[in-house]
Structure 1
Amino acid sequence: MQASAQQAKRSGQGGLRRNGMLHLFLLPSVILLIVYSYIPMAGIVIAFQNYKTYKGIGGSEWVGLEHFRTMFMDERIVQIIENTLVIALSKMAAGWVAPLIFALLLNEVRILLLKRAVQTLVYLPHFLSWVILGGILTDMLSEHGIVNAAMRALGLPSVFFLGSGGWFRFTLVVSDIWKEFGFGTIIYLAALAGVNPALYEAAEIDGASRLRQTFHVTLPSIIKVGVVIGTLSLGNVLNAGFDQVFNMINPIVAGKGEIIDTYVYKVGLLQGAFSFATAVGLFKSVVSLVLIALTYRLAYKYANYRIF
């Protein structure tokens, strides 16, 4: 056993020497990660303090779990967590199904030029900022916007998309899917490209239609990719999309549209309650960490997916 351990150690040292240049290329990214992600984590101590900017972290009074008790006693927090879960879960479900269906449909297109053109068009919104899209959608979905104008022209009643809580959530989900499903489609198309063509030939010989081939060949072949995407997305169950909500929310729909991230922004930066906002953010981060660990475990168990 000792000889085996020594052999493994020598093998690891040899691999480090062989890949030394690759590790050197990785060094700048590691340094940036430490400087901008890990060192600032020391600031979470203010969640347990009555932090005052003029006193600093060292001079502020320690209050223990007082801010966490205040958080769980605040009725708004319950509503905000509910909003976050409803919006995030809706996005996750629709964001899992929409790319899969579109990838299956696009995979049936036999004209290569058309297929690539459509794939490029649906992928382009992924690169647009929510600052830009928020302004465009606010204008298009307003009372006098192009969408309501078209609905009135068809004899349909106008819809206050950004002024009704239910419609606002629906708008968030649909606009997020429109922006991001092109990226998910690429992942599924890559998985579809790896399906063995002999399986389709065998199914066709057996008399299977294209629909049956989809259900009995295509879907079983890419189901592991779908499981990985679905399980890993669970780690974002408390991330409902700060950029999108921040650029589209208004006071009328705040009761149904306020999420944890926008609440932390308003309480922490606008109202100056840094300690309370940090406590809320820390609570969210701890829950997200647990969910991420759980989802990686599920991905490994059901799809044999692992990073290390």
Structure 2
Amino acid sequence: MSSPSPSIWSEVNTGVGNKNRYIRDFKLNKLLYLMMLPVIAYYIIFHYVPMYGALIAFKEYSPMKGILGSDWVGLKHFHDFFSSYYFTRILKNTLVISLYSLIFEFPAPILLALLINEVQSKTFKKVAQTITYMPYFISLVVICGIITDFTNADGIINRLFMLFGYDGQAMLQKPELFRPIYILSEIWQRIGWESIIYIAALMSIDQEQYEAARMDGASRLKQIFYITLPGILPTITIMFILRMGNMLNVGFEKIILLYNPVTYNTADVISSFVYRKGLLEFGWSYSSAVGLFNSVVNLALLVTANYISRKVNKSSLW
């Protein structure tokens, strides 16, 4: 009998070596692995186990029959959704609002981080960061109440606009104004909190690069373009990929608190449609089909953005 080839022995030895390495690593860091258990349990219980409920998207779900006992209808709910009047409207609204958010809201915390980084006064930095962080920690219900009050017919923002010829009607009653109000309020609410990660990335840039650039006569603007932005580009790339993975997940809580039947044509998105159909009209299977479609599209966008990023600048999530 011929002896095994060296390549086979190499694979066996590699497998044994990896196994021993994992065991040794676990013994050395067993406390860290134990700390991971609650996180792993959370994701399994609240994110993976509920995926079993996605079956109702392919059934005519009845609470009396349960998930397994409900009648199987296949792709009926998907066909109904794709052929309905609402499909074009909510898909368009979701994409438009997500695109506006990507164009205007995504760069805002980057710009804020760059501005704070250029400020020399530590006191001013702390004050600016505190002021911009605060809206993120205010309850969303309170935020939406403030927005509603300020944009009402007798609200402070409405009164200011009336000085420039605005007709004085409540702004949230106008479909064409819903998207600007939503995007501007998102920037106001999230800019400070989302800038934290970029400020942290700025702290990791080697300060000797700035000293060398100043000695070469580079202005502060050139230092930003040739040192600061390239230094935080990997962080921007990762955040952009994550944002693409949530492209269609426009926050339904805020939209539900701000929109009304008058503004459905420009405000109704996939998540608010799922909420209305599933919880208010008890169309569990139909809303699950819509939600599943939303998740599949988000997954496709995430994989595509990650692939493009890996090919273009060698930075990606995996």
Scaled to the shorter chain, the TM-score interval is over 0.9
Residues 231 and 298 in structure 1, CA contact (< 8 A), matched pair in contact too: no
Q: Which structure 1 residue ranges, 5 or more long, are not aligned?
A: none
- Residue 255 of structure 2 corresponds to residue 245 of structure 1: yes
Answer with 296-305 or 196-205: which moved more: 296-305
Residues 238 and 316 in structure 2, CA contact (< 8 A), matched pair in contact too: no
Question: 2: distance between equivalents of 1:81 and 1:204?
Answer: 50
For residues 121-270 of structure 1, the aligned pairs below 5 Å read: 121-152=131-162, 154-157=163-166, 158=168, 160-270=170-280
Query: The residue matched to 2:172 in structure 1 has which SS?
Result: coil
Answer with 232-241 or 87-96: which moved more: 87-96
Residues 237 and 315 in structure 2, CA contact (< 8 A), matched pair in contact too: no
* Aligned amino acid, residue 235 of structure 2: V
Q: How large is the RMSD of aligned CA atoms in angstroms?
A: 1.8
- Residue from 295, 298, 310 that aligns with 1:285: 295
Residues 51 and 61 in structure 1, CA contact (< 8 A), matched pair in contact too: yes
Hey, which bits of structure 1, 4+ residues long, moved more than 6 A?
Answer: none
Answer with 201-210 or 10-19: which moved more: 201-210
Answer with 28-37 or 11-20: which moved more: 28-37
Residues 96 and 229 in structure 1, CA contact (< 8 A), matched pair in contact too: no
Alpha-carbon displacement from aligned partner over 1:72-94 (angstroms, at most 9, x marks no partner)? 10021111011011111211222
- Residue 107 of structure 2 corresponds to residue 97 of structure 1: yes
* Aligned amino acid, residue 233 of structure 2: I
Question: 1: distance between equivalents of 2:31 and 2:102?
Answer: 39
Query: Structure 1 residues 229 and 285 mapped into 2: Cα distance closer, same or farther (>3 Å)?
Result: same
Question: 1: distance between equivalents of 2:225 and 2:49?
Answer: 50
Which residue number corresponds to residue 115 of structure 1? 125
Which residue number corresponds to residue 58 of structure 1? 68
Give me the TM-score of the superposition, normalised by structure 2: 0.90
Question: 2: distance between equivalents of 1:306 and 1:16?
Answer: 27
Which residue number corresponds to residue 95 of structure 2? 85
Give me the TM-score of the superposition, normalised by structure 1: 0.93
Question: 2: distance between equivalents of 1:196 and 1:31?
Answer: 39
Residues 140 and 146 in structure 1, CA contact (< 8 A), matched pair in contact too: yes
Give the length in aligned residue pairs: 307
Pairwise CA distance, 1:247: 0.9
* Identity within the alignment, %: 37
Query: The residue matched to 1:229 in structure 2 has which SS?
Result: helix
- Residue 7 of structure 2 corresponds to residue 17 of structure 1: no
Question: 1: distance between equivalents of 2:156 and 2:89?
Answer: 32
Q: Which structure 2 residue ranges, 5 or more long, are not aligned?
A: 1-9
